[in-house]
Structure 1
């Protein structure tokens, strides 16, 4: 089961830097990301999503190859495989891009937009869906964002969430006895 972690950052470009760091950890097999999205809220309050997986490009690529293949096959029947390949590729790429743009993968876009609307202007947030990780090594690496980031939401256990908060420099709010 994957864990959702949402971290808010004080600057617009810090969430992108954190995602770059997460991808470097992924190359070292210390982190396995299922999905990642950077949310930026600009000075006008508008929310911008930067998906890590561009489904339009994936769909267009798949459609291009499958459409080209089937177009060439149909073109062979009419003794013109080149025309069939070209027509099939164009139609396939368009259909694939359209299907990709209407798809949702990983973290629900409605959830991302609703939580993204709560972050202050000129800030950013990183939404990551983690399949598995090496927590000690990942937390040590994330300490570089200490003081500039805060946990907005997680599906981690309370103990793991507390370790993440400590790595980011958040002070746990403890109840003080009334005088």
Structure 2
């Protein structure tokens, strides 16, 4: 799937801000690896992905504390979708030609979950994690 996304980027059908792969082992904690082959060093860094994974698997209720009820629902949905022994590819997409990109990704029989950030939420993410170093 990473190769396909890389090709779609070269064809300018998708533009990524950042990407990470999450592996949820049968036992133990999920592991995060930034997909640097897709986005170089990554825009948001390891702190962002670590926080996201923490929200997904360990404390989905924190989204409610932040006042993002819709976000909390999405976080809960994602956390429940990634079963032990499986992995997920997280993409922070700037823009995409959906009618071209989604059929390409459908070839992998993957479940595609998506949400959009408001401009305000996007600014908060950038402010909170934009200056973080990549782990």
Shorter-chain TM band = 0.5 to 0.7
| Equivalent residue runs for 1:132-171 within 5 Å | 132-146=95-109, 149-155=110-116
How many correspondences in the alignment?
Answer: 91
| Equivalent residue runs for 1:36-75 within 5 Å | 36-53=19-36
Q: Residues 106 and 30 from structure 1, CA distance in 2 versus in 1: closer, same or farther, beyond 3 angstroms?
A: farther
Q: Which runs of 5+ in 2 are unaligned?
A: 59-78, 118-135
Q: Residues 132 and 106 from structure 1, CA distance in 2 versus in 1: closer, same or farther, beyond 3 angstroms?
A: farther
The root-mean-square deviation of aligned C-alpha atoms, in Å, is 3.0
Residue of structure 2 equivalent to 1:75: none
TM-score normalized with structure 2 length = 0.55
Residue of structure 1 equivalent to 2:92: 129
Q: Residues 151 and 143 from structure 1, CA distance in 2 versus in 1: closer, same or farther, beyond 3 angstroms?
A: closer
Per-residue displacement from partner, 1:43-67 (whole Å, max 9, x unpaired)? 223211110239xx96xxxxxxxxx
Question: What CA distance in whole angstroms lies between the structure 2 residues aligned with 1:106 and 1:32?
Answer: 20
State the shift of 1:26 in Å.
0.5
Kept after mapping to 2: 8 A contact 1:32/1:132: yes
Q: Which runs of 5+ in 1 are unaligned?
A: 1-17, 59-102, 157-179
In the TM superposition, structure 1's runs of 4+ consecutive aligned residues that sit over 3 Å from their partners are none
Say if 2:51 is the partner of 1:115: no
State the shift of 1:140 in Å.
1.8
The answer to which of 112-121 and 133-142 deviates more is 112-121
